[in-house]
A and B are shown apart, each in its own frame.
Chain A
Amino acid sequence: MPYTHGTQEWEEAYTAVTKKRMDSEKKPYIYFMPEWVGAWEEFLKADPVYKSVALPDWKGAVVLHVLKNADYGVEQDIYVYLDLLANQVRSIRIVPSDYGKSGAFVITGTIERWMAVGKKELDVVKGMMQGKLKLKGNLPAIVRAIKPAVRLVDAAAEVGGLMPDAWTPEIIESIKETIKNMAAEFNIN
């Protein structure tokens, strides 16, 4: 039986799995896998730049929605949920789709688009304006928070990671396996 999202058990198990993978997986971590998400979280929680630009009255989760693409071993959509409050990054988790969709701001893109963002080849603001990334949520609120939003993305690039264009067949197989296990254990369908 998978853990139920929102419970203490889910959180403890997710944290344990992430920690274990961060200790065991080779760096650079694979983009959007739990260990990479964990590294991003660690980076942002300690990031003085984010703290300085974040809005003191900010409320609302930002969700990066990665569209599935079997060619890359991503056989279901991934929702990376950034729980943000004021100038704090409270947590970043891969979450079940229903919960991910409920985030205040959901930015959706293909793996290729997210890779371009990660490589700083695609500016996230331009990407949204051109429709390469789709935003769901209150636009004035996110425009008001444009500086912290840009910092979140810049931080993802600074964390680094193994980009999809460097994924070998073996890596793609491991991604398939990881997502399958995460789905089974954490109900992230």
Chain B
Amino acid sequence: MNCEAGYAKRLLQIELTDGNIETLPLDDHLLKTCLGGAGLATQLFLERFSPDVDPLSKDNPLMVMTGPLTGTTLPGSSRFAVCARSPLTGFWGVGTCGGNFGPELKYAGYDGILIQGKSEKPVYILINDESIEIRDASDVWGKDIYAVTDMLKERHGGKKKPKVLAIGPAGENQVLFAAICNDSAHFIGRTGLGAVMGSKNLKAIVVTGSGKVLPAMAESYKELRSRVIEKCKESMVAESLRSMGTASALDIGMVTGDVPIRNWRQGEFEGSGDTGGPAMTANYLVKEHACYSCPIACKRVVKVDSGPYKTKEGPGPEYETCCTFGSFIENNNLEGIIKANELCNKFGVDTISCGSTIAFAMECFEKGLLSTADTDGLELTWGNIDVALKLIEKISLREGIGHMLAQGSVKAARQIGNGAENYAVAVKGLELPAHDPRGFHGMGLEYAVGYRGACHLQHMTLYVEQGMSTFESAGLESDYDGQSDDGKAKMALLSQNLGVPAGSSCLCLFVFACIDAQDAADMIRTVTGWDFTMEDFLNLGSRLWLLQRGMTNLMGAKASDDTLPANVMKPLDNGMAEGSTIDLEKMLTAYYELRGIDTNGIPRKDVLEKAGLNKLAARLHG
């Protein structure tokens, strides 16, 4: 079935408990006010489910959502979102992903899948256009992500191979930061949604579609597509990603104070030059890899040929992974990082939360809060990548010390006690991605107010504050001082208003960083045929940010959760962000005022109503 004007206008609903399968219509109003992706998932959750749901119970729905751009031929149109209440944080869980699953789901004629209930036995879902089956997964349960993906592709592949979304053993074991993987290379890592999938005994979703995604305004679409491709070709951001992958940010970040070191306590790391994009490109790159319809191709395929960290040819570590298994633990062995990445991928864990939790454990070990008696005899010393590799396996299989660490750093800290909470570097239970707020204060504000916890992806602050993109037409300045609090509240708000609708329309933020807000609005306009301006884009951004923030508030978030961890609030005594002190209270006060958030940390009733979120306003304020 073709998706006309960007949408299939239908949702596949699968009840795993009784096997009931339905197709539900999605009306125009819902699509125009939520776009797709996480925005649409949030609205559906709000209307149909309780925010108090136990994240690992059958009652927590798992939603796989595309957007209007997904599956078009526009650059950056590969993306989709997965949402549920997060078992890691207890708040609204959002993970997004590139690859090819989202487009294929659209080709099959669905804007999304809503999975409810829990299967008695392990199963996978097989979608082939109108044919939907729930199949026995007993022979693939326990398999790692690479293996299960290969098996299902082989089993269900004809001339055209299906696209696969799968969990690994970590998801099966409900590791709270378990990931979901598309075709062995693209991960929904954040907020532990792989554990939700595992809690439903759902191993995989396999999809094949024969339709197309057609734009409403074919001629304008064609012209726009050429324009966007040209901009991507010219952009230095794109060139950097194309030539070195995301890990190029590590080398640059070392001279801007962006890279966290030694569980966020150091500003200098001698080995950083050995673990970034140029080193990976020179020594381990087999080839570049692109998501569906992407002219940038930021993905790396790498291989370590020999030695203790020998790997098969596979996805290379992203910037975040190079940090969490590199600078976070003071490891400068890139081969070890590539091996850690391979293990995390196969077991299916988020490399950010996993590496961060290991760095946290190393600090606890250093401080004497953990000893070898607690760690199955392992010496959790800085720089010890071999121990990190063992911990990845223990965490994924919930063995020994791994059982405790599988809860993430915050819950593990509570279990350890004795002040261990001071060393967990997370906001709202989500471990910080590898961008140090002391180098870029606005990022600290984003972490603090983020509806899914510490997040670098639901906004454009990363690009704007670091000067990679400017978005002056949207009201942003072209040159922010990273180590300053001034102007950051407005910057964060506008960056959210840009990033959220880009995310919900399912536009890749790397492509967005190469174009401007008008181009993004034009993408939605030409695909949907709506009368859709840049102002509409930004207003929708504000609305969808409030919607998701309100959802996290319904799940219990308060003003006191809008904070930064102790290790980050302490100034560094060396490195490029030496002495930089974050005045979070000042930024938060200004931000709350601008966004219309009350002193309890909840969007004000009048602000929600003005955004058309009356039901949410009623639930939050009575």
Binding site for B on A (CB under 8 A): 121-123, 125-131, 135, 138-141, 143-144, 146-147, 150
B468 and A140 within 8 A (CB): no
A139 and B239 within 8 A (CB): yes
Majority SS of interface residues in chain B? Answer: helix
Smallest CB-CB A-B distances: 3 pairs: A126-B467, A144-B278, A140-B278
Knowing A130-B467, A139-B243 are in contact, say whether A146-B255 is a contact too (CB < 8 A). yes
Contact with A along B226-249 (1 / 0, CB 8 A): 000000001111011001100010
Please report the C-alpha to C-alpha distance between residue A135 and residue B466 in the assembled complex, in whole angstroms.
18
B467 and A143 within 8 A (CB): no
Knowing A126-B467, A139-B239 are in contact, say whether A144-B273 is a contact too (CB < 8 A). yes
B236 touches which of A122, A123, A129, A138 (Cβ 8 Å): A129
Q: Is B84 an interface residue (CB 8 A)?
A: no
- In the bound complex, residues from chain B placing their C-beta under 8 Å from that of A143 are 240, 244, 248, 251-252, 276-278
Chain B residue total in the interface (Cβ 8 A)? 28
Q: Is B536 an interface residue (CB 8 A)?
A: no
Please report the C-alpha to C-alpha distance between residue A139 and residue B470 in the assembled complex, in whole angstroms.
21
B244 and A130 within 8 A (CB): no
Knowing A129-B467, A140-B244, A140-B278 are in contact, say whether A146-B252 is a contact too (CB < 8 A). yes
Query: For chain B residues 255-285, which have a beta carbon within 8 Å of chain A?
Result: 255-256, 273, 276-279, 281-282
- In the bound complex, residues from chain A placing their C-beta under 8 Å from that of B243 are 138-140
B244 touches which of A122, A125, A126, A139 (Cβ 8 Å): A139
Residue of A nearest to B285 (CB): A140
| 4 more CB-based (< 8 A) A-B contacts, given A125-B252, A143-B277 | A129-B466, A144-B251, A144-B276, A147-B273
Please report the C-alpha to C-alpha distance between residue A36 and residue B251 in the assembled complex, in whole angstroms.
30
Contact with A along B170-193 (1 / 0, CB 8 A): 000000000000000000000000
- In the bound complex, residues from chain A placing their C-beta under 8 Å from that of B254 are 146-147
B282 touches which of A139, A140, A146 (Cβ 8 Å): A140
Give chain B nearest CB distance to A52 CB in angstroms: 12
Q: Is B598 an interface residue (CB 8 A)?
A: no
- In the bound complex, residues from chain B placing their C-beta under 8 Å from that of A147 are 254-255, 273
Q: Is B478 an interface residue (CB 8 A)?
A: yes
Q: Is B479 an interface residue (CB 8 A)?
A: yes
Please report the C-alpha to C-alpha distance between residue A64 and residue B480 in the assembled complex, in whole angstroms.
25
- In the bound complex, residues from chain A placing their C-beta under 8 Å from that of B273 are 144, 147
The winner among A127, A130, A147 for most chain B CB atoms within 10 A is: A130
- In the bound complex, residues from chain A placing their C-beta under 8 Å from that of B239 are 139
Please report the C-alpha to C-alpha distance between residue A62 and residue B600 in the assembled complex, in whole angstroms.
54
Please report the C-alpha to C-alpha distance between residue A150 and residue B253 in the assembled complex, in whole angstroms.
12
B478 and A125 within 8 A (CB): no
Please report the C-alpha to C-alpha distance between residue A158 and residue B255 in the assembled complex, in whole angstroms.
18
Please report the C-alpha to C-alpha distance between residue A123 and residue B277 in the assembled complex, in whole angstroms.
21
A140 touches which of B256, B281, B466, B478 (Cβ 8 Å): B281
- In the bound complex, residues from chain A placing their C-beta under 8 Å from that of B469 are 129-130
Please report the C-alpha to C-alpha distance between residue A6 and residue B278 in the assembled complex, in whole angstroms.
32
Give chain A nearest CB distance to B279 CB in angstroms: 7
